[in-house]
Structure 1
Amino acid sequence: MDMSWIQKKGCAFGYKEDLKQNRHGQEGGIIWWEEVLKECRAQETFITLKGWRDECFDVRAGYSAEALLKMDRCATCLFGICNYGVDINGYVMDPEKGLCIWLQRRSQTKQTWPGRWDNMVGG
């Protein structure tokens, strides 16, 4: 996998200030991240980027810390970035069957896990 084109984009890695600037000290480091990820998506470099849905998550050093940048949800796993969500499951106690859970089947047109069983609500 040739990813030498990333170096040509020019961005410093390291401190949070570097994320906001390119290698010339100009604003634009955050835009650089998005460009790199979109290029990886176009070249089909990582399977996970097929799940791109323009749903950006804030990238933070800690749960309550200020956002350093935004990144598409599907790309966060490439960098070991934690993201959080809520899932809701429903259940009933049936007098004859006992505990029954409510499930839904995902649409066949979903980008991720089409047609698979899922919980009631997630986000």
Structure 2
Amino acid sequence: MGENDKQEKGDTKQEYVTIPYAYRSDEVIETKEVTKEWFEHFQQIKRVVDELAEEYQSNPNITRVAYTKNDQKTTGDNPFKVEIELINTESIEEIPDEREGIKIDTVEAKPRYFSREEKKES
């Protein structure tokens, strides 16, 4: 299938695009075909993550802005969501629930490092 091939599924036609799936250094070693709808949503969510990361870069309470799979199994629409990790979840009033139709979740940051003494006490 080419980059923008159409394939019939039942009575509907879906457009597919071929995307890089696996790399070795800078070389693409495997590709994958996805629906054009999925590909466009994926491009949108990457752009939204970049915008939010830029917006909140000076906020010391935010440790990570990333995309992740939606909790629910989805077919087509919005297979991804944005996740914003916060040190203190009490101060989330400024973060929207969604942007451009993409769900935004906030989660509490988990401690990433600990001393040997802290590990022994656990």
TM-score by length of 1: 0.29
Which structure shows the bigger proportion of residues in strand conformation?
2
Larger helix proportion, structure 1 or 2? 1
